[in-house]
């Protein structure tokens, strides 16, 4: 379990193709200072198990399922990554409960800078929209964030209007083939400077984990049928 508070901006130092898996070597002097074999470290929001630790780096095996369902498969050696060690029972819960189990990937749509913060909009897989609420929590590349706006693209052939910053609504997405959903977050300078989100560009993929409490609540209300 994690909190979504990034401890260190690390780097993918090596990647070994194992056919149906990959072995990553990740550089992160802070998170490896007390890491041991079998520990959990979140890399861009994906919980990975430490295989080996040496000289400020750790290695972890990433199975095909994880490579296919997250943005880790698109990483190249030298890319920065967000790192967080698993929380302990004595940790402060500065963000929210994060499992490190990615629900899907989205992509950055646009950035709107302001003097003291930046509003960033991401696409959201349609199946996840029901778990996302304005002012609720969401994890993007391992970063615990508060949703400041939500909306959807209209279906093909229907018109829409672009909502004002921070307002929910819908707008047409040029070149997109069908309905989609989006959400916005507002990033403070600390988040922009100390995580990968400060360098993301339109079109870049991100890992998304919705609030697990919403998923459990949905299943309970459905009588456990899901």
Average pLDDT over every residue of 203-209: 95
pLDDT(5) > 50: yes
pLDDT(199) > 70: yes
* Separation of alpha carbons 202 and 123, rounded Å: 11
pTM: 0.84
* Separation of alpha carbons 77 and 176, rounded Å: 31
Does 92 reside within a domain? no
Looking at 26, 50, 85, the residue that finishes a domain is 85
Task: Dump pLDDT digits (tens) for 146-191.
Answer: 999 999 876 554 444 444 444 444 444 433 433 469 999 999 999 9
Q: Are residues 216 and 130 in the same domain?
A: yes
Q: Are residues 108 and 208 in the same domain?
A: yes
Place of tokens 């052939």: 157
Give the burial string for 97-135 (b: 16+ CB within 10 Å, else e): bbebebbbbbebbebeeeeebbbbbbbbeeebbebbeee
Q: Are residues 112 and 199 in the same domain?
A: yes
pLDDT(55) > 90: yes
Q: Are residues 77 and 111 in the same domain?
A: no
Q: What is the pLDDT of residue 101?
A: 93
Q: What is the pLDDT of residue 71?
A: 95
200 falls in which pLDDT band (50, 70, 90)?
A: very high
Q: Are residues 44 and 145 in the same domain?
A: no
Looking at 85, 120, 136, the residue that finishes a domain is 85
Instruction: Assign residue 69 the CATH number of its domain.
Output: 2.40.30.20
35 alpha carbon, distance to own chain's centre:
23
Looking at 27, 55, 85, the residue that finishes a domain is 85
Q: Are residues 214 and 109 in the same domain?
A: yes
Residue 216: Cβ-neighbour burial (10 angstroms; 0-12, 13-18, 19+): exposed
Q: What is the pLDDT of residue 180?
A: 61
Q: What is the pLDDT of residue 222?
A: 83
Domain that holds residue 21: 8-85
Q: Are residues 123 and 181 in the same domain?
A: yes
State the DSSP H helix or E strand holding residue 218, giving kind and residue range, or none if neither.
helix 212-221
Task: Dump pLDDT digits (tens) for 214-226.
Answer: 888 888 988 756 5
Q: Are residues 108 and 213 in the same domain?
A: yes
- Count of domains in the chain? 2
Q: What is the pLDDT of residue 167?
A: 46
Q: Are residues 38 and 135 in the same domain?
A: no
pLDDT(122) > 90: yes
Q: Are residues 128 and 163 in the same domain?
A: yes
Task: Dump pLDDT digits (tens) for 179-195.
Answer: 469 999 999 999 999 99
Does 153 reside within a domain? yes
Does 125 reside within a domain? yes
45 falls in which pLDDT band (50, 70, 90)?
A: very high
Does 94 reside within a domain? no
How much of the chain, in percent, has pLDDT values that exceed 90? 67
* Separation of alpha carbons 37 and 58, rounded Å: 9
Average pLDDT over every residue of 120-130: 90
Average pLDDT over every residue of 19-39: 96
């Amino acid at each position: 379990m994690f909190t979504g508070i990034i401890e260190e901006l690390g780097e993918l130092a090596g990647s070994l193709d194992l056919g149906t898996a990959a072995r990553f070597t990740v550089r992160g002097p802070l998170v490896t200072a007390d890491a041991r074999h079998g520990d959990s470290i979140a890399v861009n929001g994906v919980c990975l198990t430490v295989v080996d630790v040496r000289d400020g780096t750790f290695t972890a095996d990433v199975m095909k399922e994880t490579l296919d369902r997250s943005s880790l498969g698109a990483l190249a050696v030298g890319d920065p990554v967000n790192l967080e060690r698993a929380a302990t029972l004595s940790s402060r819960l500065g963000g929210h409960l994060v499992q490190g189990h990615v629900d899907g990937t989205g992509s950055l749509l646009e950035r709107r800078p302001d003097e003291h913060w930046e509003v960033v909009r991401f696409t959201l897989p349609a199946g996840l929209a029901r778990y996302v609420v304005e002012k609720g929590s969401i994890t993007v590349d391992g970063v615990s964030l508060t949703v400041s706006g939500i909306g959807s693209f209209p279906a093909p052939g229907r018109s829409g209007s672009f909502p004002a910053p921070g307002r929910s609504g819908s707008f047409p997405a040029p070149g997109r083939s069908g309905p989609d959903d989006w959400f916005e977050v507002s990033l403070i300078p600390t988040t922009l400077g100390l995580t990968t989100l400060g360098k993301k560009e339109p079109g870049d993929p991100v890992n998304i984990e919705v609030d697990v409490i919403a998923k459990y609540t949905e299943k309970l209300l459905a009588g456990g049928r899901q």
